[in-house]
Structure 1
Amino acid sequence: MQPIIATPGLRLGSADDLQAGPGTYVRNGSIFASALGYLKQHTAQASPTTNAPEKVSTKPTVFVSRRKEQAAVPDVGSIVTGKVLRINTRMATVAIMMVDASPCKEDYQGIIRSQDVRATEKDQVKMHLCFRPGDMVRAQVISLGDARSFYLSTAQNELGVILAHSAAGVAMVPISWEEMQCPKTHTIEHRKCAKPF
């Protein structure tokens, strides 16, 4: 049976039927999850040796077991999503935010060198026409690089800028593999666009 993942605020049941355990709270007669983790239930059993007159609760206890999440770490071949921090004539510096589909818990930095932007005409790449600070990009890790940065590539068709905002602050729409247009002002800006899935 697939384990149920509880998210904060998820209603787990009625306080009349269940007892609140770790990772939960009671509000208005209902029990809710207060943490992210696996939903667990423990059935209380009265001890046969006890002669105490007080009433012992036999309601099952519901609780959220916090799983230790593995931190996402970029590796060669991983597809990463990140935000362009700065550019110069030779490269773009990217703050890596996600590895494959997992968010990063630590700060990783990537570099897209001009020769890794596209597969053809590598010597004619102008970085300011491919990326701008603030752009969200999808890229592939091609090398572990140096101690500070991973080397990234956007040479494949499905890699490149996935979200960019125009000067008017509106999310632009890709109209070709190297151009995006603002739907408000209709201004066209150059980018190395990622082919949408």
Structure 2
Amino acid sequence: MEKSVLVCPGDKLFSTAEYTAGRGTYIKGKHIYASAAGIPKSFAPEAATGDKKPVVEVLRGEARIKTPEPGNIVIARITKVNPRLASASLLCINTQPLSDSFTGIIRQQDVRATEIDKVEIYSSFRPGDLIRAQVVSLGDSRSYFLSTARNDCGVVYAKSTSGYPMIPLSWQEMQCPQTKVVEKRKVAKTV
């Protein structure tokens, strides 16, 4: 049974005998409670879990809130670069834009699959680059761990220091079409 009223954190929703707790909920004793303000909705059970009970989630809007999960391919914008890692702001999961803001980090060992000890973050990414990456794990409380080790992952869009969109030359170089200056990047293989 669906409740179409707005619930607040701490409101009792359903029994754990009837439903499985999803996003925006938590279990206390034998009941499911709201952990966010929104409207509770139930969804068909996910086949991967093997559970037969419907999943109840508290939605803040009309759509189910999408969050990155390990294995997802994401599009992100590089925000900061230092010698050990690059920080990124996640924009999309596959082709679905994210409504919430999530951050990710690409560690030196997750840039490429080979010659990991020779990876230089500054030669792989620059702030403002758009990248395709795979979510490796949930990481810490602030960021997801991302990887560009796959051939189809890496920089998909970058601007040169002159401000022009660059074109890829190889898997590790991009060139400004105006100034012909070549800059190093970990370039995503296009299909």
**Does TM, normalized by the shorter one, top 0.5?**
yes
Deviating beyond 4 angstroms after TM superposition, the runs of 4 or more aligned structure 1 residues are: none
Residue type matched to 1:170 in 2?
Y
Q: Which of 126, 132, 139 is the equivalent residue of 2:126?
A: 132
Residue 36 (structure 2) pairs with residue 80 (structure 1) = no
- Residue number in structure 1 paired with 2:168: 174
- How many angstroms apart in 1 are the aligned matches of 2:108 and 2:189? 19
Number of residue pairs matched?
Answer: 131
Deviation at 1:172, TM superposition (A): 0.2
Could you tell me how far 1:109 is from its partner in structure 2? 0.3
Q: CA deviation at 1:72?
A: 2.1
Q: Tell me if 1:155 matches 2:149.
A: yes
Query: Percent of aligned positions with the same letter in both sequences?
Result: 47
2:188: which partner in 1?
A: 194
Pairwise CA RMSD of aligned residues?
A: 0.9
Q: What does the per-residue CA deviation read over 1:86-111, in whole Å, with 9 as the maximum and x for residues that have no partner?
A: 01010000000101111111110000
Structure 2 stretches lacking a partner, 5+ long: 1-60
Residue pair 1:94, 1:109 contacting (<8 A) in 2 also: yes
Bigger Cα Rg: 1
C-alpha separation between the residues in 2 aligned to 1:71 and 1:171? 33
SS at match of 1:152: strand
What are the Cα deviations for residues 139-166 of structure 1, in whole angstroms up to 9, with x where unaligned?
Answer: 0001110110000000000000000000
Aligned position for 2:92: 98
The CA distance in 2 between the partners of 1:139 and 1:130, in whole Å, is 13
- Structure 1 segments unaligned to the other structure (5+ residues): 1-66
Distance in 2 of aligned mates of 1:146 and 1:167: 33
